[in-house]
Amino acid sequence: MTEGRKPTSLKDLDTRLNAAIRHRDDNFGKGSKKGKRGGGQSGIGFAFKIGADIVSALIVGVGIGLLLDNWLGTKPWFLLLFFILGAAAGFMNVFRTVRGLDMTAGYKMPGRVDEKSEATPDKGREEG
């Protein structure tokens, strides 16, 4: 299948990759304020996302509470407990969304560089 094609060199691949990264940054604005609320979402979309986060967390919490109450016969207690836990989870999701932490691994602010991650094995970690 690839008998007639010459394999691409790593330099060519690096050049094409850097061009694609520059193109992406030019088109989507590297470091722009758009990324703070989910990539330039409209205000009504952002409000619906917040509302859906709270409602879905409450529905899951109440559903788990009702299932446990019916299974164990402890009528209002698990419902109340999981309603409170669901509300807390919903507000935590809203907080993370508003702060721009919703899709970031490790809950770091997007675009921020951690000082510890910049340390190389040669330098080591500086105390102080």
- Contact indicator for 79, 65 with CB cutoff of 8 Å: yes
**55-91, pLDDT tens digit by residue?**
999 999 999 999 999 999 988 899 999 999 999 999 9
Long-range pairs, 105-110, Cβ under 8 A, ≥24? 110/35, 110/36
Q: Is the dihedral of CA 26, 32, 38, 44 positive or negative?
A: negative
d(CA 106, CA 123): 24
**Per-domain residue ranges of the chain:** 62-102
Mean pLDDT by 10-residue block, N- to C-terminus, for the chain (128 residues)? 68 87 74 49 86 95 96 92 96 88 60 55 50
Task: Specify the pLDDT at position 35.
Answer: 47
pTM tops 0.75:
no
d(CA 68, CA 64): 6
Nearest Cα to 49, choosing from 37, 59, 66? 37
